[in-house]
């Protein structure tokens, strides 16, 4: 192999198409843009979603739903998971360490799903009315 014999791979290089350069080029006259209309003209195009003046799809369909960005800071813990945890003193830091709530959680609430048999003291954690009754029935407390 010699330096003067090096060539790029077949098909690796290609010429940029020059349009509108006369009838002999094969892409003269309208330069591949067809005849008349907005798309044939220089600078003429439309915004994304434009349907030629017809009411666009995103405006024809009804608005629906909303997802609050604050929800990622809220978390729920069940009585069953508190029972499995087996700790007597429970706070937000402990719940994050054992992985019952996410790292972003700021507000944690205990919900009444399952049963609780051991007394649990909660600090800085809320509970639903039914969960509060269940916790206090076994000798636990909320602070």
pLDDT at 48: 92
3-state helix, strand, coil in the chain (%, to 5): 30, 15, 55
Compute the distance between CA of residue 29 and CA of residue 23 in angstroms, rounded to an integer. 7
Confidence bin at 44 (pLDDT 50/70/90): confident
Task: Please tell me the pTM assigned to this model.
Answer: 0.55
The helix/strand/coil state of 89 is strand
Q: What angle do CA 106, 108, 112 make, to 5 degrees?
A: 170
pLDDT at 5: 93
114 pLDDT band, cuts 50/70/90, is: very high
91-95, long-range: CB < 8 A, 24+ apart? 91/122, 91/123, 91/124, 91/125, 92/124, 92/125, 95/125
The domain limits of the chain are 15-46, 69-142
What's the pLDDT at 83?
A: 93
- Tell me the average pLDDT across 4-24: 93
pLDDT in tens, 54-113: 999 999 999 999 999 999 999 999 999 999 998 999 999 999 999 999 999 999 999 999
Query: How far is 83 from 92, CA to CA, in rounded Å?
Result: 16
Provide the greatest CA pair distance for the chain.
95
Best CATH choice for the domain 69-142 from the list 3.30.499.10, 3.100.10.10, 1.10.1490.10, 3.40.50.1360 = 3.100.10.10
pLDDT of residue 3: 95
């Amino acid at each position: 192999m010699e330096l003067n014999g090096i060539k790029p791979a077949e098909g690796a290089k290609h010429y940029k198409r020059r349009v509108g350069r006369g009838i002999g080029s094969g892409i003269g006259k309208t330069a591949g843009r067809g005849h008349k209309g907005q798309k044939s003209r220089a600078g003429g195009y439309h915004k994304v979603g434009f349907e030629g003046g017809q009411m666009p799809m995103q405006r024809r369909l009804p608005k629906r739903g909303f997802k609050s960005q604050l929800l990622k800071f809220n978390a729920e813990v069940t009585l069953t998971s508190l029972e499995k945890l087996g700790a007597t003193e429970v706070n937000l830091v402990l719940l994050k360490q054992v992985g019952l709530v996410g790292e972003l959680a700021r507000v944690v609430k205990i919900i009444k799903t399952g049963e609780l048999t051991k007394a649990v003291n909660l600090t800085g954690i809320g509970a639903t009315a039914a969960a509060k009754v269940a916790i206090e029935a076994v000798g636990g407390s909320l602070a």
